[in-house]
């Protein structure tokens, strides 16, 4: 059997295929090269692009975040049984509002014409870059709010979910206000209006909470509904914002 197989194998090996025609080979290589060049925007893996975006975030942003964390820690540390809980929570809410707007200058960085052209020349997609930055900053802020809520709930002896509601609602409101301002003024070079808009929200909230005792007068159900509504609106604003980026830099710079 082995000998018979050897005979068959020998005969098989006598059959050689001649090389492909050079013209066909050139055509194949050209098609492959074109495909590679077309896929230039996906040149880097997602992880690498994420790492790149983290590196490109301004140190000023991290400095501002650090300052906010320091202030929150300061407030939380001074909470004791004699502390006015409303004042403490409203102060933290004020800081959460600032947290909500502090990342927006980084998002706006790409919206000047020069930056868009630079990024397009590197074959990067503006929408992808913005999504990545939003993911990095947004995830960091979400975790920060949760950690602050946890620390506060431990210090105050109140349930975590309650504190989280009190902190997330102002945070969401400031983000919604910032997205609204960004969407309205983006093409007019007035993105700097986000800061006063955010500060305005912060002050109104601070005064409103302390003047009208919102933590006491509004039931937890109202806060829950406020949280859900603001979250839905915020998600809507984010998608609306990203969809407008599809138009590319020409729309941004017009």
Partner 1 sequence: MRSIEDYILIKRIQDGDPAAFEALARKYYQNIYSFCVRRCNGDTALAADLTQETFLKLVEHIRCYRPTGKFINFLLTIAVNTCNNNYKKKSFELVEGDTLARIPDQNDIERMVLRRETALTVQQAINRLPDIHKEVVILRFYHHRKLREIAAMTGVSLPTAKSRLKQGLVKLKRYLDEEDLES
Distance set, CA 69 to CA 181, 196, 208 (Å): 25, 21, 23
Identify residues 18-37 at the interface with partner 1 (CB under 8 A).
18-21, 24-25, 27-29, 31-33, 35-37
Identify residues 45-84 at the interface with partner 1 (CB under 8 A).
45
Look at residues 170, 38, 183 and name the one whose alpha carbon lies nearest to residue 108: 183
Q: Which stretch binds partner 1 (CB under 8 A): 10-18, 166-174, 197-205, 241-249?
A: 10-18
Helix H or strand E encompassing 30 = helix 22-38
Quick one: which of 3, 13, 81, 121 contacts partner 1 (CB under 8 A)?
13
Q: Which stretch binds partner 1 (CB under 8 A): 9-17, 61-69, 83-91, 177-185?
A: 9-17
Quick one: which of 5, 80, 121, 221 contacts partner 1 (CB under 8 A)?
5
**Residue 225, interface with partner 1 (CB under 8 A)?**
no
Contacts of 227 (CB under 8 A, 6+ apart): 165, 168, 169, 172
Closest distance between partner 1 and the C-beta of residue 48, in Å? 10
Around Cβ 231, how many Cβ atoms within 10 Å? 15
Quick one: which of 3, 9, 47, 81 contacts partner 1 (CB under 8 A)?
9
Is the CA virtual torsion 206, 210, 211, 212 positive or negative? positive
Q: Which pair of tokens denotes residue 40?
A: 């230039």
Q: Which stretch binds partner 1 (CB under 8 A): 3-11, 183-191, 195-203, 209-217?
A: 3-11
**Residue 11, interface with partner 1 (CB under 8 A)?**
yes
* CB-nearer residue toward partner 1: 4 or 55: 4
- DSSP at 111: G
Contacts of 48 (CB under 8 A, 6+ apart): none
**Residue 4, interface with partner 1 (CB under 8 A)?**
yes
**Residue 3, interface with partner 1 (CB under 8 A)?**
no
Distance CA 64, CA 61 (A): 5
Helix H or strand E encompassing 174 = helix 160-185
Q: Which residues make up the interface to partner 1 (CB under 8 A)?
A: 4-5, 7-9, 11-21, 24-25, 27-29, 31-33, 35-37, 39-40, 42-43, 45
């Amino acid at each position: 059997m082995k000998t018979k197989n050897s005979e068959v194998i020998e005969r098989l090996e006598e059959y050689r295929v001649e090389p492909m025609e050079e013209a066909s080979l050139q055509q194949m290589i050209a098609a492959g090269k074109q495909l590679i060049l077309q896929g230039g925007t996906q040149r880097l893996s997602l992880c690498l692009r994420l790492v790149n975006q983290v590196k490109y975030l301004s140190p000023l942003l991290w400095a501002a975040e650090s300052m906010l964390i320091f202030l929150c820690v300061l407030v939380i540390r001074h909470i004791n049984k004699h502390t006015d809980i409303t004042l403490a929570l409203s102060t933290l809410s004020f800081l959460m509002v600032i947290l909500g707007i502090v990342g927006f200058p980084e998002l706006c960085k790409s919206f000047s014409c020069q930056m868009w052209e630079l990024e397009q020349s590197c074959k990067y997609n503006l929408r992808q870059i913005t999504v990545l930055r939003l993911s990095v900053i947004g995830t960091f802020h979400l975790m920060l709010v949760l950690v602050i809520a946890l620390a506060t709930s431990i210090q105050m002896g109140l349930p975590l979910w309650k504190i989280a509601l009190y902190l997330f609602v102002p945070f969401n409101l400031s983000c919604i206000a910032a997205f609204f301002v960004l969407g309205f003024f983006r093409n007019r070079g007035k993105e700097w209006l986000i800061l006063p808009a955010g500060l305005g929200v912060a002050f109104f909230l601070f005064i409103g909470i302390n003047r009208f005792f919102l933590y006491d007068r509004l039931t937890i159900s109202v806060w829950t509904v406020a949280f859900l509504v603001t979250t839905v609106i915020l998600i809507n604003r984010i998608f609306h914002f990203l969809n407008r980026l599809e138009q590319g830099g020409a729309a941004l710079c017009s």
